[in-house]
Structure 1
Amino acid sequence: MANTNQHPEQIARDKIDQLLQQAGWAVQAKNKVNLNASQGVAVREYQTDVGPADYVLFVKRKPVGIIEAKREKEGHHLTMVEEQSTQYAHAKLKHLNHDPLPFVYESTGTLTRFTNYHDPKPRGRRVFGFYTPQTLTQWLEDYRKSGKTLRGNLLDMPTLNTAGLRPAQIVAINNLETSFKENRPKALIQMATGAGKTFTAATFIYRLLKHANAQRVLFLVDTKNLGEQAEQEFMKFQPRDDNRKFTELYNVQRLSSSHIAPDNQVYISTIQRLYSILKGQELDESAELDHPNESTWLQNQLQNKAPMPVVYNPKLPLEMFDFIVVDECHRSIYNLWKQVLDYFDAFLVGLTATPDKRTFGFFNENVVSEYTYEQSVVDGVNVPYDVYLIETEVSQKGATIEAGWQVDRRDKLTRRTRWQQEDEDTIYTKNNLDKKVVNPSQIRHIIREFKRALQKDIFPKRYDDQGEYQVPKTLIFAKTDSHADDIIKMVREEFGEGNDFCKKVTYKAQEDPKSVLNRFRNNYYPRIAVTVDMIATGTDVKPLEVLLFMRDVKSRNYFEQMKGRGTRTVGDDALKQVSSAAQHKTHFVIVDAVGATKSKKTDSRPLERKRSVATKDLLGAVAMGASDEDLFLSLANRLVRLNGQLSPTEAEGVLEHSGGKSLPQMTKELLAAYDSDTIDTAAQALMQSQGLPSLEMAREQAQAQLIETAGSTFNGELNEYLENVRREHEQIIDHINLDQVTKAEWDTSSTDRAQAMVQDFSQYMADHKDEIEALSIYYDQPHQRRHITEKMVKEVLAALKADKPTLAPLVVWEAYTALEKVKGSRPEKELTALVALLRRITGLDSVLTAYDKTVDRNFQDWVFKRHSGSSPKFNEEQMQWLRMLKDHVATSLYVDIDDLDYSPFDAKGGRGKMQKLFGNQIQAIIEELNEALVA
């Protein structure tokens, strides 16, 4: 403990001494210098020709840098003393002949800034402490060999080889490298889910290692699952300028313990593990299963009044990594975890599909790439989606359990049930469903209607070769683990299937969730997976075609991440491997059974941060003075939930035990303690009333007061009362109020999208009718349709795919089905779908009609006219042959005499057989058919 009677300058120097020693420096007085004592020696008050320098740093007996020490309260002035410290760096040291010293620090012992004057356009930056002597030795050696530092190397990066990269990836990498050249410490890459963020990262990391002489790069994730996926991506990555894989060129280590091998180039770690390594603590493996904002590992901090801050760790020096890539950075850069990022002196690169205002702020609004979901759909990187709504009476209005009814009451955790006769009416709303009350009928009717809608409206053509309906790969989002169990039970019953058909994929599942997830991704079974959080974000299941929301989500970011599970494109062969009845993944469908697509969304993060910590422990921690943000926000979340369940009598009891504060008031105070706007307002008031010297000091005092106000309410008596009230609110199983479906239809906004798509398609065709031959015929010379060949229609399709990939014929076909009654089934081939669409938009057909239906109708008309006229009637053998010609036109648009030499005609005798059947009329018959069938 520092001596309070010490001079402020001495206090600062004591702190600096300690930081230097931690980093491996021997600190010596000027009259007791021994440069042989250590590789790095820091000499106090060393004499220069402009006066004594506070510290001069020697590495291997040679001077390399200086430290300008300042008092604690002068921390905000450090940038103003850069000229002074530079003067010392250029001064002549007593007894020595040397060049200007390149490594310059300004420090109060609490705040430290550093400038490397070997850098191009040297710029000071805040650092956590001091670099090790070994690091400065390496930097000097690298500079001696090349004349460049890392920042110098970044200025000379070679042009990016764009082969194999998508346009959005090219933009992201080029802009990021421009940001590096400008020496910007933080950069944000916003890239839609499915657009290849990790591949993009592997590409620029490879370039940094090879061309910028970067030594070590950290790829930071927030769940073990994401770390494993990243490791697989690096293992698969092969650069364009080398035949070897990334992992054959560079060592990649995914941290699974506290051991960090020093000879690797890429490290993959969860932010939780890195925090535990810095703290020198063992990490509970369960901490890596949840997102950091929901991590249970922090419960070990509850015994402290505040989470212990990160301190210097010699095993992991602050300069360990040159670059840190933060995956899913919208959720892993705040609060306790921000300390990890602040500790390291590295360029920070954020990756996310769904940034919010805080994300932009953290990365200094340096957004080097913005690639949205909508842009990715236009580029064909992701698929679009439609929304199908299911509403039931209970889902919308709730119900009433009347006094006298006998119902089940179930413990949420143990699932143990007991009968109870109700003493009073229980009115529950839709918000209480699956929390306070479980209504099996409500779940059953949603699942039953979902089954019907799949077969009739959503994917009606999914019948396999045996005529059985094949459920598309479906992911159901449940509210809780117990809700997931209820859903699984209903799904198996309503679909008449066994255990393999529907599985739970949560961290609490008895089966290995990773094994179930792999089967869901790659095998036929399960067809339906139910999850709470585990595969809501960051997990790739490309064959997914349906997302069923049975839980609402208020966070816009989280909803977009959940929605992103269905956006991935997948090759036809890969899709058929797990869904044999599917042809193409042209879109996915959100089935909204809870209003998730309609509810108001916010940019806020989930309040709940400590899911596994009991409410009574949260209350006890606050009562004992604990005040970290996760703790306050989690308790606020629990109180919000509890307030929704309170009876009027219980609410009065809360007021009695809390000194007149209601649960909403307590919640507001807990949230206010960490709300930036509230803190700023209070700080401004303090500055005016107390004349504080800086806004930062005012903010600290204001927040301390807000924390004290929020925490002072809680005491043993109130906590016991709240816990007793909470225990009273078990789940009621309502078997009595039977539900019924009130709505099952496409979302009107989906209809709007369908209308816009049809209009875009029609406009594109009209705009290009003078450029593409087939379009010219359809619009201006319809009598020439018999001359349209398969090659001509392929030309239209190729132009459409190049200019408007989102207007794929099969997708536009689905849009029409949302707007009008369509004749016939959706075609399997894009060409025949395109012909049918062209006939519809040019007015040849009044409604969209499958091309095979048009050909069948025209064939019947042609045969009838032939038979009713003077021409001789065809016999049965001739009719069989004509039907083959008709079927060929239905799939290939046109038949030529040369086609008779190929399948299926060659198996029936080919050209010779037709010659025998029709004699010298063969060419005339073919021409008649071509003209009649496309009428």
Structure 2
Amino acid sequence: MRTSLKNVMVDRNIAGRYYQESAIKAVCEAFQRNRRKALLVMATGSGKTRTVIALVDVLLRRGWVKNVLFLADRNSLVTQAKRSFVNLLPSLSVTNLCEEKDNTAARCVFSTYQTMMNCIDTVQDEEGKLFTVGHFDLVICDEAHRSIYNKYRDIFTYFDAPLVGLTATPKDEIDKNTYDIFELQSGVPTYGYDLDQAVKDKFLVDFLSVESKLKFLEEGIAYDDLPQEEREEYEATFADENGELPKRIESSALNAWLFNEDTIRKALHLLMEHGLKIEYGEKLGKTIIFAKNHNHAEKIREVFEKEYPHLPGYAKVIDNYMTYVQSAIDEFSNPKKLPQIAISVDMLDTGIDVPEVLNLVFFKKVMSKAKFWQMIGRGTPARTRPRAASRPSCTPTCWSRSTAAARWSSSPTALTPASTTGPTRSGRWPRSTPGETWRSCSTCAPCGQA
């Protein structure tokens, strides 16, 4: 029997923080007013998954839902969400459609968007089509934004169920059309909790950056600027069949198809020397290197193994070329296991929750501000155990400001969470003058956890 969603009691063993309870109550109030859609904008690391699990618990107890669909855009995020539901709401039967399609009795179904699109017409029970229009009483959309909605619009229009969207993208960075999808005023989600507030509340930590520019990544390679021995290597490498040479190799080519070992070596040395350490400064803390592509990631691993042969298994490539991606993520997430360095190609950029991460290295251009802040969020969760005293530091530029617009630099950048205090955050982009360079730690945009 359905009962009122006014004055709901939230299970604080699932979601015990004040803002999580506020988010749940905001969604319940919206549903009570017969609104069918809600959008939660919460910083990466602030516990969006816990919040939505506690919301499901409330709706189950109040008789508003029986069957729930949780959608994410990657298998690893589906697996992570399902584990959280199993741990925090063990009485709810669950299934992962990406792994099993015959558990038709499960009340909570986890799936990627692609898998659900395929299963709507193919999965059946003894009565016929399982996923009918009214099968689910609630649809949860992880990382809700316009591109997901536009690509998989048919899912959202097919199921006749209330929709809850989750995102860590700062509310001012969310596309206006995303708010339109959730029938909300632009910039006004159902509930929002950003990084600035989370840092003030000490649920998340701020980060610090140190800039270090590497010439080739900034300027490219100019033949006339090379010493004689390097000119000979340049000629041998880049001369075409007619013996003609390009006058320069643009910086955009580096790490796309051309790899410079010295550049990679310098970036790794900066990380190993200045990255946050654990075990009384003896061991580099868990680190994510964001690489440009698979070949770039493999080259970084190759150079690391040459430079640090005494650290076998210390660095590992984690991307969609792997057969057992989830096992690799689980090993990286385990503080007692190697690798310490995960070299990621899109796999760990967003959504994946590894609280042990202390250092982030940006070794590729990030063209999206929203994605950049989500990537920063891989290192902002507060840790309950003490960390070894080590000077937070990093490598190169996060972004530059020019007279035209913000430009995300191609220089590798390592970022570490601040151990106690961080830079002042104003809540807006800094003003710039021509040629002025801004470090990421001196600007403000909310980010967070998953």
Give the TM-score normalised by the residue count of structure 2: 0.78
Q: Is the 8 A contact 2:278 2:285 kept in 1?
A: no
Describe how 1:36-185 pairs up with structure 2 within 5 A. 153-155=3-5, 158-160=8-10, 162=12, 165-185=16-36
1:485 equivalent among 276, 294, 298: 298
The equivalent of 1:327 in structure 2 is 142
Hey, what does 2:62 align to over in structure 1?
Answer: 211
Q: Give the partner amino acid of 1:560.
A: W
Q: If you compute each CA radius of gyration, which structure gives the higher value, 1 or 2? A: 1
Find the residue that maps to 2:136 and give its secondary structure: coil
**Structure 1 residue 744 displacement after superposition:** 10
Cα distance in structure 2, aligned partners of 1:420 and 1:445: 33
- Cross-structure match for 1:394: 216
Instruction: Tell me whether 1:362 sits opposite 2:181 in the alignment.
Output: yes
Cα distance, 1:186–1:499 mapped onto 2, change above 3 Å: same
Does residue 317 (structure 1) correspond to residue 127 (structure 2)? The answer is no
2:338 matches 1:517: no
For 1:264-343, list aligned pairs within 5 A.
264-280=106-122, 314-330=129-145, 333-343=148-158
| Alpha-carbon distance in 2 for matches of 1:745, 1:222 | 27
Partner of 1:247: 90
* Alpha-carbon distance in structure 2 between the residues aligned to 1:488 and 1:188: 40
Closer, same or farther: CA 601–318 of 1 in aligned 2, 3 Å: farther
Matched, 1:188 2:39: yes
Matching of residue 536 in structure 1 with residue 349 in structure 2: yes
Amino acid at match of 1:360: Y
What's the secondary structure of 1:218's corresponding residue?
strand
Match of 1:501 in 2: 314
Counterpart in the other structure of 1:222 = 73
Q: Report how far residue 756 of structure 1 moved.
A: 5.0
SS at match of 2:71: strand
Query: Is residue 583 from structure 1 mapped to residue 398 from structure 2 by the alignment?
Result: no
Aligned residues: 397
Q: Would the aligned equivalents of 1:567 and 1:588 in 2 still touch at CA under 8 Å?
A: no
Query: Aligned letter for 1:320?
Result: H
Matched residue, 1:642: none
Q: What are the superposed Cα offsets for residues 224-283 of structure 1, whole Å, 9 maximum, x if unpaired?
A: 11111111111111xxxxxxxx233x32222136846553321111111111113549xx
Which structure is higher in RCO with an 8 Å CA cutoff and minimum separation 6? 2
Q: Secondary structure at the match of 1:425?
A: coil
Partners of 1:276 and 1:745 in 2: CA distance: 40
CA distance in 2, matches of 1:755, 1:332: 33
Local SS of the residue matching 2:305: helix
Q: What letter is aligned with 2:179? A: F
Structure 1 pair 251–520 and aligned structure 2 pair: CA distance change class (3 A): closer
Kept after mapping to 2: 8 A contact 1:224/1:270: yes
1:156 Cα deviation after fit: 5.5
The one-letter code of the counterpart of 2:326 is K
Extract unaligned runs of 5+ from structure 1: 1-145, 238-245, 282-312, 410-417, 576-581, 603-740, 758-935
Say which SS state the counterpart of residue 437 (structure 1) adopts.
coil
Q: Which amino acid aligns with 1:596?
A: C
Letter in 2 for 1:178: E
The Cα shift of 1:202 comes to 0.8
Q: 1:421 to 1:547 in 2, by over 3 A?
A: farther
Residue of structure 1 aligned with 2:399, choices 597, 611, 614 = 597
Take 2:358 and 2:284, find their aligned partners in 1: how far apart are those partners?
10
RMSD: 3.5
Partner of 1:447 in structure 2?
268
The residue correspondences of 1:746-765 to structure 2 (distance < 5 A) are 756=424
List structure 1 segments (4+ residues) > 6 angstroms apart after TM superposition.
418-421, 743-747
Q: Does 1:424 align with 2:424?
A: no
Structure 1: distance between partners of 2:37 and 2:406:
28
Deviations 1:626-684 (A, max 9, x none): xxxxxxxxxxxxxxxxxxxxxxxxxxxxxxxxxxxxxxxxxxxxxxxxxxxxxxxxxxx
Q: Is the 8 Å Cα contact of residues 301 and 317 (structure 2) preserved in structure 1?
A: yes
Q: Is the 8 A contact 2:6 2:28 kept in 1?
A: no
Q: Secondary structure at the match of 1:504?
A: strand
Describe how 1:657-736 pairs up with structure 2 within 5 A.
Answer: none
1:488 is paired with a residue whose SS is helix
Aligned to 2:197: 375
Question: In the TM superposition, what is the alpha-carbon distance from 1:376 to its structure 2 partner?
Answer: 1.1
Identity of matched residues, %: 26
| Secondary structure, counterpart of 1:346 in structure 2 | coil
Aligned AA (1:434): N
Query: Shift of the alpha carbon at 1:505?
Result: 1.0
Code of the residue aligned with 1:515 in structure 2: it is S
Query: For residue 206 of structure 2, what is the aligned residue in structure 1?
Result: 384
What code does the residue aligned with 1:551 have?
A: K
* Deviations 1:817-869, CA, capped at 9 Å, x for gaps: xxxxxxxxxxxxxxxxxxxxxxxxxxxxxxxxxxxxxxxxxxxxxxxxxxxxx
Equivalents in 2 of 1:474, 1:399: separation in Å? 29
Alignment CA distance shift 1:219-1:174 (3 Å) = same
Deviations 1:79-122 (A, max 9, x none): xxxxxxxxxxxxxxxxxxxxxxxxxxxxxxxxxxxxxxxxxxxx
Rounded to whole Å, the distance in 1 between the matches of 2:339 and 2:112 is 30
Query: Equivalent residue for 1:233?
Result: 84
- In 2, the alpha carbon distance for the partners of 1:386 and 1:197 equals 24
For each residue in 1:274-322, what CA deviation from the matched residue of structure 2 results, as whole angstroms up to 9, or x when unmatched? 11113549xxxxxxxxxxxxxxxxxxxxxxxxxxxxxxx9442211111
CA distance in 2, matches of 1:218, 1:206: 14
Q: Distance in 1 between matches of 2:279 and 2:99?
A: 48
- Post-superposition shift, 1:592? 4.6
The amino acid of 2:151's aligned partner reads: L
- Equivalent-residue separation in structure 1 for 2:57 and 2:338 (angstroms): 38
Using a 3 Å threshold, how does the CA distance of structure 1 residues 200 and 223 change in structure 2: closer, same or farther?
same
Change (3 A) 1:426 1:485: farther
Distance 1:529 1:450 in 2: 13
Q: Is the 8 A contact 1:428 1:437 kept in 2?
A: no
After TM superposition, list the pairs within 5 Å mapping 1:642-657 onto structure 2. none
Q: Cα distance 1:432–1:233, how it changes in 2: closer, same or farther (>3 A)? A: same
Are residues 1:566 and 2:371 paired? no
Partner of 1:95: none
Distance in 1, Cα, partners of 2:415 & 2:104: 57
Aligned counterpart, 1:433: 254
Asked if structure 2 preserves the Cα contact closer than 8 Å seen for 1:475 and 1:547, the reply is yes
TM-score (norm 1): 0.39
Pair 1:539–1:407, CA change in 2 (3 A)? farther
Question: Cα gap change, 1:180/1:566 in structure 2, threshold over 3 Å: closer, same or farther?
Answer: same
Helix, strand or coil at the partner of 2:165: strand
Q: Which AA in structure 1 matches 2:32?
A: K
Distance between the aligned counterparts of 1:318 and 1:565, measured in 2? Answer: 37
**Could you say which structure has the higher helix fraction?**
1
Contact 2:287 2:340 in 1 (8 A): yes
Q: Quick check: 2:271–2:414 contact (8 Å CA) kept in 1? A: no
